[in-house]
Amino acid sequence: MVKTTKKKVLVCDDAGFTRTMLKRIVNDLPYAEVVAEATNGEEAVKLYQQLKPDLTTMDLIMPKVGGLEAIEKILKFDKNANIVVVSAMGQKNLILEATKKGAKDFIRKPFKKDQIIQVFENVLVL
């Protein structure tokens, strides 16, 4: 029997509630699992370098190092990183900037489970 390995997901958000919601949705997927959580951009970059996840969700407004700077640093480390911005619509300009910098897609908060699944399937090319 062939064991399929799940795609590794890193969740980065300073709000515990958002991390919990994302983790619950992702861990219900048959093809993905959350391997780590970061509460700021600095942690996100360190965890990305250690774990090299298949997909990273990134909030834009976080303490210490914000999401845009973290996206830049992660993409400098790995130009093929799959980063999906998860942010409130109030950050429309930041979302546009994040996609210019290399984020693959974005999900608006508050999000629905279907949105997460759709974007994950598109980015991970399932």
Domain boundaries, the chain: 7-114
Q: What are the percentages of helix, strand and coil residues in the chain, rounded to 5?
A: 50, 20, 30
Distance CA 2, CA 42 (A): 37
Q: What is the pLDDT of residues 85-97, one digit of tens each?
A: 998 867 678 888 9
Q: What is the pLDDT of residues 64-114, one digit of tens each?
A: 999 999 999 999 999 999 999 998 867 678 888 999 999 999 999 999 999
CATH topology of domain 7-114: Rossmann fold (3.40.50)
